Amino acid sequence: MMYNAPFEIHVHGDVPLRSDVTLPQVEEALKPLWQYVGAKSLVAGARSSYEEEPGIRFHAKEHLLQLCWTLPGDEDFRQVMEESCMALNDIAATGAPIEVSFYDTAYDDEEEPADAQEDSRDDFMMCFVGPTPAAILQVQRDMLVRDVSHMMERHFEPNELGPVVDAIDQLFTNRFDALVNSMQLGRPPRGSGGGSSGHGGGRKPRHLH
């Protein structure tokens, strides 16, 4: 456990997992996280700093990983989180977002005046996991469409936003095509016995025409 940590970090998200995924696989994927808090197992490290939060839970029947976990930490947690996300890609069933919030422990909203909060180092990062690049792009696209639509519906009717959604789809289509092309560079031609990457190619997301 990290004492006098500069940040209180909150990790939040629900990750659908493949139906064949077992607890040992989840524990291995999340090893960077529970080792970061000095635990020797997932069970030991899954408890949140706040009792009212569920922490890290694997719901085997629902094939779901639930993250609502607060821990003390530093900026180096970003790399740790990225390592776990890479491992979660191998057991995820669909794309899913994970929110990571950094709260500066030097500032307390109840004690510090409002102007002092300007110097707070509070920060936020959004991580995405998924079985394929297409699945990750899909959840990114859906979140962006939702956020942009929510903002623009203050000024426009929902049925007027079609061109905006189409533009977002085109941006993600371009990104997907560029990703596929970059992953194909240097590969042996099909039929020559070369294997394909487990995270490459595949179907385009359903909204990426």
Mean pLDDT of 3-19: 94
Residues 24, 78: one domain? yes
Res. 22: pLDDT tops 70 = yes
Residues 176, 102: one domain? no
Residues 126, 152: one domain? no
pLDDT tens string 28-44: 999 999 999 999 999 99
Residues 122, 83: one domain? yes
Res. 136: pLDDT tops 90 = yes
**Chosen domain end from 131, 157, 174:** 131
The answer as to whether 203 is a domain residue is no
Residues 89, 142: one domain? no
Residues 69, 149: one domain? no
Q: State percent of the chain over pLDDT 90.
A: 64
Tally of domains within the chain: 2
Sheet strands (E) in 28-148 = 55-59, 64-73, 96-104, 123-129
The answer as to whether 191 is a domain residue is no
Res. 188: pLDDT tops 70 = no
The answer as to whether 78 is a domain residue is yes
142, 150 contact by CB (below 8 A): no
Res. 207: pLDDT tops 80 = no
| Position 202, amino acid | G
In angstroms and rounded to an integer, the radius of gyration of the C-alpha atoms of the chain is 20
pLDDT tens string 40-98: 999 999 999 999 999 999 999 999 999 999 999 999 999 999 999 999 999 999 999 99
Res. 201: pLDDT tops 60 = no
Sheet strands (E) in the chain = 7-16, 55-59, 64-73, 96-104, 123-129
pLDDT band at 114 (very low <50, low <70, confident <90, very high): low
Res. 104: pLDDT tops 90 = yes
Residues 109, 156: one domain? no
Residue 186 confidence (pLDDT): 47
Q: Which domain range does residue 145 map to?
A: 135-184
